[in-house]
Amino acid sequence: MAVSEGPLVVGVDSSTQSTKVLVVDAANGRTVAHGQAPHTVSADHESDPEQWWDALRQALGQCGPAVRQAAAVSVAGQQHGLVTLDGQGRPVRPALLWNDVRCAPQRDRLVEALGGPAAWAERTGSVPAPSFTAPKWRWLSETEPGAAAATARVRLPHDFLTERLTGQGTTDRGDASGTGWWTPDDSGAGGYDAEVLGHIGLDPALLPRVLGAGEAAGTVRALPDLPLPAGALVASGTGDNMAAALGLGLRPGQPVLSLGTSGTVYAVSPRRPADPSGTVAGFADARGGWLPLACTLNCTLAVDRVAALLGRDREAVEAGGEAVLLPFLDGERTPHLPHASGLVYGLRHATSGGQVLQAAYDGAVFALLRALDRVLEGADAPDAPVLLIGGGAQGTAWRETVLRLSGRPVRVPRARELVALGAAAQAAGLLLGEDPAHVARRWDTAQGPAYPAVARDDAALDRIAAVLDDADTLLRRR
């Protein structure tokens, strides 16, 4: 291992599909070791939390001697997942993940019971989506009352791993803001909402303590097969989107478009969002500000599925044609169409397979850009380039579609694994007493190839908007 300039820190990304670990030099952001281990997800969008712990230990073990020198660690995890534990901290049942929309009826009743969308936006900053944790608990209580009764602790995915490391039940304001049962106050701190918890039947004693920005969750315990040194600091951790924002060192108004299993658009803001349409979730960030964010369920995997159905490589797109494809294969969160399926419109004899595939890219990007307009309302950086991240950011077809439909310049950061890198920046900030966003900017994480703006394809945008509006009733059918 090369000699490091500063202390070593560990950043963890426990995502839907795998756990990734980076060992990073806190002085310069250089990755000195990395590891990765997969997760298994059921067809019902469930996952056993024990495999996250096993994957974390495996990924840490792949990092060699560097990980045993780490002075601090932070865990970022997929948002919204419902983790139910017994009194010994063991899972009662598999976790319900963010993309499980079975609780859509419970979500609708919850929103209506407590005043409707506008009241929710004012109350919590967000109108809960079916992906949020609160309706998931209500669904569990109604459909599996035995599992709910056996639950002694309710956690989010990053909370579960942090608690295994420290033995302390904690969470952070960023991830807590995606539950539906945490309400911010005027200072940005906030607390659990007794009325929401009462309505869904959740005892607040089952929930973890919410840490403030920069507060430690504890220290690493001595545990079997855990390569981390006992006594290393453990930061609060956060949700994956909040960690990616840290990893980029975002300044207010800088738009981010993330292309992964889901698609997300977000920006850091000093102002608390409150979008009554429910398009924008008014999340807290991992510091003291806000992270207005919109998420789509169908992004790279949906477009890859269309490519497979067409028998084409994912890059084999062709320009032209008038086909519209809305790739809502698993229902959709933005727009709120939990029961939708994919829709193709406008096929002609002359339509080619490559044009249909390009229409799938256009449909996925259209949903994200429409949401981005709401995310950036009131932002003070109208000409800032879109930071394009996630696995899809490396694809030419994705990048060119974003350029053509947004009309904005695009930059693709060279830094990879931004969620784990953001967790590492949080760990470094805790260790060094610095703002983690400042740490990431010192590491120069957002630099990368820049692509100038091109003329926006308004004809394609108008065509997709018209089909989406006309098909609304059809898309809402079960």
Catalytic residue numbers, as ranges: 240
CA-angle at 119, arms to 242 and 375, nearest 5°: 35
Burial 135-150 (b: 16+ CB within 10 A, else e): bbbbbbbeeeeeebee
Distance separating alpha carbons of residues 358 and 306, to the nearest angstrom: 10
Distance separating alpha carbons of residues 4 and 10, to the nearest angstrom: 14
Distance separating alpha carbons of residues 416 and 276, to the nearest angstrom: 34
421 φ, ψ to 5°? -65, -40
Of 271, 258, 188, 273, nearest to 422 by C-alpha is: 258
Distance separating alpha carbons of residues 365 and 358, to the nearest angstrom: 11
- Which tokens belong to 37? 């281990």
Residue 18 forms beta bridges with which residues?
A: 38
- Which tokens belong to 36? 């990765």
Name, in order, each residue with C-beta under 8 angstroms of 205's C-beta and a sequence gap of 6 or more.
none
DSSP string, 54-94: HHHHHHHHTTGGGGGGEEEEEEEE-SS-BEEE-TTS-BSSP
Distance separating alpha carbons of residues 88 and 109, to the nearest angstrom: 33
CB 250 within 8 A of CB 267: yes
Alpha carbon distance, N-terminus to C-terminus of the chain:
56
Q: At 154, which helix (H) or strand (E)? A: strand 153-155
323 φ, ψ to 5°? -70, 145
Q: Which residue has the tokens 């281990």?
A: 37
Distance separating alpha carbons of residues 158 and 34, to the nearest angstrom: 19
Chain-centre distance for alpha carbon 119: 24
